[in-house]
Chain A
């Protein structure tokens, strides 16, 4: 038996008895109000209400647990059978389905033949509202189909591939047991985080049985923090010359393995957004990287899904928190992105900032931190597909200030837009009836002795309050939808047929792109990551003698192609066009086709 398997059998024996009791305590208070309890009598969760007229309606001011996510997807698929396909991409380490919903009008063609937008959420299972964004997007596209002209046109023309929850195990854990806002980030894969030969032996625990995992502090005049004199609930780090009152002890828990550390080796840590195959590095360099790329089953499942869909032209991966639209590179060691691709990102990023006021369009490694092995870098570098990481929820949502009061910030970093903690307390008091924070309460810790437990409750730090959710969801979904309208959209026309004498003809055709995105990114073209678009000509009685693309359509300068001129490899920029010219011999029907992986196929017919 391997060490890991051996430990998995031993783990329950080291949990203290108090844990087994706390696991039986139902979620209480503030947390329960935000999560609708699953319906007992039928499979339909109470957050999903079939309205009259057959259109499902949802409560968007609360969070869906994983059972409700699955149910919502099923409800949508059953309500819109011609516009949706629902499948499981496989199962997670704990046996949960990874659900994927395709939205595309089957009457206008197969989804695989259309340009596609890929959207996912919650690859970090604790970043729960990413799932709600995906669900809202799906509902919006379907609910407004036939009512909003642009949405109708979009669903007819484009395919949406949506995976609302990638880390189904982690997100399920967030809802299932005593939780904190860090619970569920990792894949539930045993990993020896502290290098002591044991796996997942020391994680956070709900010591006081309140259904939440909060912070611990101990009174300590030689510690690191003091209470804010204006609001003793707030903990301030002491500066030189200040007397401390407290030492923060981290999340609730005990030193299960007696190594002098608390909660240093909880469930996981394998970060599914560090487990992708481009620029992957091992865990000693990138925490959470896993044993090797695609070792985590959901990563593998999504990876296989994406690999089989070369029509994906853009991606959105939703996370929390910070109010950001991020793009790569994820590491400064990578070659810089092509300026043509950056220009597209810059344009979209500005639109994203406008759609979500307060959001910032940022570059991962430069404005945030270096990451290795992440999803969006993989999609861009391996397939040439650009995308955004959307970091939902801004700290400014917790604003409570007058017009003349400026936002606070104690550390001068990008988090300076976060209001000071006492402002957040006031927000909680005034707008949430104080329910966001649990006051510090004494507790007799088996190892630390008399301590206090309290702090910000789950769903108050990284997540948007329920009553603010609908607006946040709508704005994010509409940005995705608007971006999808910019996916390449090619139309072909034969613009000229010139008689050269005999049966010789010069045929000129144009492929025009009505979408703002190019048919292929510069990176895809430069590295030949996929097949280039094909601009072709043919006909039953047509023989192609020569041809090429026009480098100067005005002067008619042709870059002739010596080999296989009937099949020209090319691409079309956003809101641009490409012209080609062929010298052919023959008569009758001639067909010019533009066939791109990410723009579908368009044809024009003529006669020689």
Chain B
């Protein structure tokens, strides 16, 4: 069992025996099938028997299924609260490996030591974020890309799900269908791989590509509106793509998405969001916003211009407008943040360059971990978080660091390099002389035919009801992003150590002993340094822009403040750095005072000072 391997590494044998005997084995590896929703639910219920674990129902899916979230308390709770990690898995629904990994992680946290980074935080683990879509993995016939159970009218004809795919070759799978069509845009290579036609290069079109099935509703289109709903992984509010059908009509129009959002906003102890799915934001780093938006020219609406003493609808650098707000807008509470929200700027879509520092470090750590385990081989590149993705929402709108990771995609052969006259291999150059099949399809076919792994169906000739001939076969649903179940343990084991170490990056609040300077007449200057021993700032620079993470509040009690407020708010604590906080106070010779620094996801630290 995958988690048992971890256990052996960290837990004494006696405890291991007790734990193993208390927890039932996962289906994986025994029955040879992915655990379905019921099995995963049963696993969560078992894990919830642990004294640190509680199972919550945070909402229901569009199809009425429970959204089960496992909360795991830290082994040793901190004063004033603990940082939490929200782990969302399988928002797409059709990536069973990610759900399995989430459950395995939860088990590993509960079974692991109490001194580990994973044990120092609270976990909120949602292994199946889209249970309706997850059920489709186990449906017969199995199709992909159908989303949750919400009714969706993809073709705008007022009907929903009126033209579903059909399993023409009775293999229990909805695969590709190449319909004979001289006007089609597809052809087959000599070795039976589909490729885009290119008549100019001697590859005429012979087929039209559809999904397996026939035109059930007689409108001339194939399976254009199958029964299917919304992809939750595209339904989050950041950079939402409207009018695409499968992403939802508008952001968070699905109950699953709203449940997750509401849970997140109700739990401001969340300091990190991990999303296990198709996307990966550490595989390749995002393009950053080097200039930021301070150099941009903005026009100031008339309703604001007068208050700030500026000309209405004239262009100004943003910096200047914000400075005017600081100088002239105070009485009308036109703080820079409020003014920014009135200037109709566009939302950030690229991280600020300052956040690239920790992002790069995380990505390096991720790659190094995989390389150390020999898991950094060439593979079909995972996509970055796209429109409506939960990870992008968490980073850009919720304000926490967000790590999106996939666990597997089909391995690709490394590019072949030709040797030059010196004997050194020349850089591989793509051959653009003729159309080629997509490399991931070739790799999938090769794995199936030469290694015996599932993933590719040989072409089967069928005749459609109207007499048209077609070929059914090609990649199995989900085969490009989900390995054969027999490989599941390997990939979960490869990623778990990195995931379990991630909480160690989180900010850790410190407060120095107060530095007290006697100014005479009972007046003292008190300075403390509020620090962050973690590897991530708090909040991120994006968090300082969107202002959603609760700030670090530093409060002095027990003395009268002559200057500065007793309660001060820190905009940001740099990673590994500190911020000096100062008060000029008046206090009696024998008085004691205290300074408390706190934030919901950082806990509370209090130091005392003063005369004895």
Contact = CB atoms under 8 A, between A and B. Distances in A.
Contacts of B332: 250
A382 B219 CA distance: 25
B520 interface: no
Given A277-B252, A284-B340, A564-B218, A527 B302 contact: no
B252 A294 contact: yes
Interface in A554-589: 562-564, 569
Contacts of B341: 283-287
Interface residues of B, number: 60
B415 interface: no
Interface string B316-355: 0000000000001011110101101110111100000000
B155 A528 contact: yes
A181 B240 CA distance: 35
Contacts of B607: none
B321 to A, nearest CB: 14
A474 B157 CA distance: 40
B533 interface: no
Query: What 5 A-B pairs are tightest by C-beta distance, nearest first?
Result: A531-B158, A277-B250, A528-B156, A370-B344, A287-B341
Nearest to B396: A282
Nearest to A249: B331
Contact of B268 (A2, A195, A263): A2
10 contacts: A196-B551, A197-B553, A197-B599, A262-B331, A277-B252, A294-B253, A365-B344, A382-B242, A382-B249, A530-B156
Given A197-B551, A285-B347, A411 B335 contact: no
B332 to A, nearest CB: 6
A260 interface: yes
Interface string B132-176: 000000000000000000000101111100000000000000000
Interface residues of A, number: 66
A562 to B, nearest CB: 6
A395 B220 CA distance: 59
B257 to A, nearest CB: 8
Interface stretch (B90-98, B186-194, B279-287, B565-573): B565-573
A538 B48 CA distance: 61
Contact of A291 (B218, B253, B261, B312): B261
A3 interface: yes
A400 interface: no
Contact of A378 (B250, B252, B337, B553): B250
Given A248-B331, A287-B338, A281 B347 contact: yes
A242 interface: no
A257 B333 CA distance: 14
Nearest to A223: B331
Given A294-B252, A529-B156, A260 B331 contact: no
Contact of B335 (A194, A250, A333): A194
B457 interface: no
Interface of A: 2-4, 192-197, 224, 237, 247-250, 257-264, 276-287, 291-295, 331, 333, 365, 368-372, 378, 381-382, 411, 413-415, 527-532, 562-564, 569, 597
A332 to B, nearest CB: 8
Contacts of B338: 193, 287
B567 A414 contact: no
Contacts of A365: 344
Given A277-B249, A284-B347, A292-B261, 12 more contacts: A2-B268, A4-B266, A196-B551, A197-B569, A261-B333, A280-B237, A280-B240, A292-B237, A331-B344, A333-B346, A368-B301, A371-B344
A196 B569 contact: yes
B347 A530 contact: no
Nearest to B303: A369
B533 to A, nearest CB: 21
Given A195-B551, A264-B335, A280-B237, A411 B306 contact: yes
B258 A292 contact: yes
Contacts of A369: 301-303, 344
A298 to B, nearest CB: 16
B397 interface: yes
Interface stretch (B57-65, B114-122, B467-475, B542-550): B542-550
Contacts of B346: 281, 285, 333
B183 to A, nearest CB: 15
A372 B250 CA distance: 13
Given A196-B551, A250-B333, A413-B312, A280 B251 contact: yes
Contacts of A259: 565, 567, 569
Interface string B253-270: 100001001100111100
B268 A282 contact: no
A411 B301 CA distance: 13
A527 B251 CA distance: 18
Contacts of A258: 565-567
A280 B240 CA distance: 9
B600 interface: yes
Given A196-B569, A528-B156, A284 B333 contact: no
A257 B252 contact: no
A278 B302 contact: no
Nearest to B306: A411
Contacts of B565: 258-260
B521 to A, nearest CB: 23
